[in-house]
Structure 1
């Protein structure tokens, strides 16, 4: 009962204190003046933002076909247009705050309004401006609550309380405030690192004078450098001694020596592949183990092949160094294929090559350079005369039934149009002696 009475007394005390503050604001000329200035600042911001937004959109919106760095910068600035109203209101309120302080010596009401406009700016930033999922989560659960605490004027007290709350972790201990700072600073720096990596990767990709393998190696090197610098920055900003990472580096070295040999081997093999450029993204390759497909991605650990039926095969980079690899495409070079066929023995075989070569040359994918179609006599079979036509195309035959299928159709139609018979197996049975019937 005593505890309940004390709780009621405390609640009553807080209520009276709040009533005194409200009464002071409602009855004070300074408070009414601040309210009026606050409303004037808000409506002035509304008017100014309505006037400025069309001008900003007009002069900053680039043509849709432009994609250069200046156009990207203009689009980036346009992302922050929704913040125009709360920021203008914050600025106008700051002017009103300086006026009230110079006249009345206080500005608590208008200062609260200024902080409230900053809270609105933070909320709009998270809701309408930020598109990155990670930054959106950080903004929703860290930035907006911090802005709300700042708006009601208790941010400093909460920060002190978080700093006093220490979390033990073995031989280490840190405060909740340190943890929040680490999350915010680390998230922001690594987001900037990822953005920088995307920009550098796009720039390197557009350097067409570089070999594809060299472009990919340069992009990987830039990625490692950017995130390495980001990691060192986070450690330095948070006051973590970099010398303490020497032990971690030794542990990683021992792990590489014993348990991570394959990973290290695959990583080094991947670097060698990118440097040599003997197999790169877009090439169709076949390994000794029978794996075949088009290289669609090369990572630090493995190379990914896509087969004709859409399946992905993950091949360790080491296999490309230690085993025999057949590269069929070599980044788009021409490839030679053969289409075998036969004609009957009653055919004038001297006419067949010209007829077949002319028919195959009509295929739009068949090349005349490095060599035009070439029909060759291959042998005399059991049922007919065997021929084969060689042709060159830019690309890989789809499971041996892409270009070759169309070529065989053209050969069939050309032979039929010239009344040349395509044989089928014949069997001749010879019976020695006379056939006699046994009578009873």
Structure 2
């Protein structure tokens, strides 16, 4: 189609749509002048007021009844919450349909025509509200809800054909492709449906993958990420194909964009590839305790761009995946959960070193988190210092996520108690200051001390 003819067609279609809308408005305005139409409007307004009053009285009682249903499943409570919020609308729909049925029985169908339109609109809007509550994403839920309200309203009022012709006329032509407003609306609806379906499948499948204990945590993350990319990508391209968009030109365009992004987003791509490598080689997985520089904590989550590390003080560090690949990382629980800790102490030369070693091993073994089997604590002499015999006490733990500083403190405290009970002294530096009498007198008299 010639692009110069599109605006003319659009203007003609818009004029036709406005003419039809004006005729429709004049038709219903003239109908409002008839007595039986005014009666129907009055009945609808009266039923709305009654439904509002009854709903206002029933909502507190329903809320009190809901508070007593604490043991119910979560999905059932969510339905009750929706019913509680839309209780007035539910009463209005019920009263409207009762009025329509009674009017059809006692009078001609034309006497309830407007009431039937109101009842259909109210019922359709209420159904859309309940149906869209199944969508967890707030933005997607709001978009689907308002789109469905517009569509059911046009369908009930019989304006879908005119609206479609108007949107078809609002178009531009790019080469061989004609892009109309109706095509954009179709694309938006189909993409929304396909992406919502892909999101539901991905979420359900991810839950089952995480519950499978036979799959390692790193492979679970990799499988979930791969599944999400495949499903969302398939939903996007299938939606465009269903609308009728030519994907050949899109492929060429995406290739050119990919080259540009490759140069501009090198770090992002590097982190993405590094994250995939981490998941494949299983060097780091959720729950591992790692040290990277001054950061010590456990892996909370593996992302596409970064790794979330939570420290003992509650801080959450987002470390880029590239740093974990190129830097030196200490994984305290990579191949084994056993971690060895060393503490140093000294005792006086007058204390028996054999007794000190036995007391130190017994004290460490008495701490709750210290392992006795298969890794047992050991104590060795590492040197003779200026004022003490120096020892090293080595012990093992299997839960590094519980912290390292606290377990060292517990072992030191156990050593202190054991040494106090057995008269083992811990030496410390001492200084002795002596003052000569003649120098003290000379200082008091104001004399000058000679070196």
2: distance between equivalents of 1:97 and 1:215? 61
TM-score norm. by structure 2 comes to 0.70
TM-score norm. by structure 1 comes to 0.71
1:296 aligned residue: 300
How far residue 75 of structure 1 moved from its aligned partner, in angstroms, is 8.1
Could you list the runs of 5+ residues in structure 1 that have no partner in the other structure?
Answer: 1-11, 55-60, 430-440
1:211 aligned residue: 216
Match of 2:395 among 388, 391, 395: 391
1:174 aligned residue: 179
Distance change >3 Å, CA 79–CA 190, structure 1 → 2: farther
Distance change >3 Å, CA 359–CA 104, structure 1 → 2: closer
Tell me if 1:381 matches 2:376. Answer: no
CA contact (8 A) 1:375 1:387 kept: yes
How far residue 235 of structure 1 moved from its aligned partner, in angstroms, is 0.9
The CA RMSD measured in Å over matched residues stands at: 4.5
2: distance between equivalents of 1:193 and 1:80? 25
2: distance between equivalents of 1:312 and 1:104? 68
2:126 aligned residue: 121
1:147 aligned residue: 152
Farther-moved stretch of structure 1 (88-97 vs 296-305): 88-97
1:197 aligned residue: 202
CA contact (8 A) 1:118 1:151 kept: no
Match of 2:291 among 260, 274, 286: 286
2: distance between equivalents of 1:127 and 1:261? 40
1:234 aligned residue: 239
1:57 aligned residue: none
How far residue 428 of structure 1 moved from its aligned partner, in angstroms, is 8.8
2:138 aligned residue: 133
Farther-moved stretch of structure 1 (303-312 vs 103-112): 103-112
2: distance between equivalents of 1:219 and 1:401? 36
How far residue 154 of structure 1 moved from its aligned partner, in angstroms, is 3.6
Deviations 1:312-335 (A, max 9, x none): 444333343344332112277020
CA contact (8 A) 2:270 2:322 kept: yes
1:417 aligned residue: 421
Could you list the runs of 5+ residues in structure 2 that have no partner in the other structure?
Answer: 1-21, 63-68, 434-451
Q: Secondary structure at the match of 2:387?
A: coil
How far residue 423 of structure 1 moved from its aligned partner, in angstroms, is 0.2
2: distance between equivalents of 1:334 and 1:159? 69
2: distance between equivalents of 1:268 and 1:14? 60
1:436 aligned residue: none
CA contact (8 A) 1:119 1:151 kept: no
Q: Secondary structure at the match of 1:350?
A: helix
1:6 aligned residue: none
Distance change >3 Å, CA 319–CA 148, structure 1 → 2: same
CA contact (8 A) 2:37 2:114 kept: no
Higher relative contact order (CA 8 A, sep 6+): 2
2: distance between equivalents of 1:120 and 1:88? 13
CA contact (8 A) 1:340 1:386 kept: yes
2:7 aligned residue: none
CA contact (8 A) 2:337 2:400 kept: no
Deviations 1:263-318 (A, max 9, x none): 4443333222212212111212234x655442222222332333444444443333
1: distance between equivalents of 2:109 and 2:313? 80
How many equivalent pairs are there?
390
1:21 aligned residue: 31
Deviations 1:336-359 (A, max 9, x none): 101211111111122112212212
How far residue 365 of structure 1 moved from its aligned partner, in angstroms, is 0.9
How far residue 399 of structure 1 moved from its aligned partner, in angstroms, is 7.5
